[in-house]
Amino acid sequence: MDAETVNQLVALNRKFYSQFGADFSNSRSSERFNIEPFQKYLANDIRLLDAGCGNGRLAGTLERAGFSLDYVGVDGSEELVAFAQKNNAASENVRAQFHIVDLTTRDWRTELRDASPFDVVVALAVLHHIPSFALRANVLKEIRAVLKPRGMFIMSNWQFLNNERLRKKIVAWDKIGLSDSRLETNDYLLDWKRGGVGFRYVHFVDEKEVERLADASGFQVIEQFYADNDLNLYSILQSDE
């Protein structure tokens, strides 16, 4: 994918979360957030990075689940980070801090205020919004760089093609003036109709792509599985040193 197309898709999603941040946040309640699929990889007294934290619902869920840990949430949306700070202002055991960090920049880890390495990094429903395989691989390389040796990386990717209702949200690329020829395989444009009409770039990440991304970034795939009514593919990776 050429740089101009990457930038256009990044700008598209940035505009979406700016325009529909409140509506999106309201549709992502931490009370309904299920951490059971990957909870066995979490523990007390760890240092955890939530890459693409959105409205901070993971932090709130961990607090209610009784975890005590250091949590850093980063997201490129100023609006969602503001919601995250507000939603977790009363947290006691999850020592949370939130920062605006754009994961689509090549060296985003340098924007982290504390360079101490993390035991665990999670990226839940994030990678499928990163345009181009090269940029997705870069996100994983940056994540590996902030992990402790043998640290764990947990990610989920939306399996929207597995659901008939979600497939109906797919619209033609000419809606935003793009030609299919400029996109990569499994790139889609999905509409949004809550609080107005908007569009988001979404890439369908399957198990094979996760394996390719792991190979490109120095990770080992520990396990992959489907959960949440098969709407999410969970991938557990470990840094190889």
Angle between helices 78-87 and 57-64 (to 10 degrees): 20
Residue whose structure tokens are 């764990």: 152
- pLDDT (0 to 100) of residue 26: 53
Q: What are the domain boundaries of the chain?
A: 3-159+205-239
The pLDDT, as a whole number, for residue 29 is 46
Topology of domain 3-159+205-239, per CATH? Rossmann fold (3.40.50)
pLDDT in single tens digits along all 241 residues of the chain? 899 999 999 999 888 877 775 655 555 544 457 899 999 999 999 999 999 998 899 999 999 999 999 999 999 888 889 989 998 888 889 999 999 999 999 889 988 877 789 999 999 999 999 999 999 999 999 999 999 999 999 999 999 999 888 899 999 999 988 888 899 999 999 988 777 788 899 999 999 999 999 999 999 999 999 998 889 999 999 987 6
Helix, strand or coil, per DSSP, at residue 227:
strand
Q: By the 8 A CB rule, do 200 and 189 touch?
A: yes
The 8-class DSSP code of residue 49 comes to: E
pLDDT of 149 reads 92
- Whole-angstrom distance, CA of residue 76 vs CA of residue 226: 27
The pTM (predicted TM-score) of the whole model is 0.90
Greatest alpha-carbon pair distance for the chain in Å reads 50
Q: How far apart are CA 149 and CA 146, in angstroms?
A: 9
Check residue 134 and give its pLDDT: 95
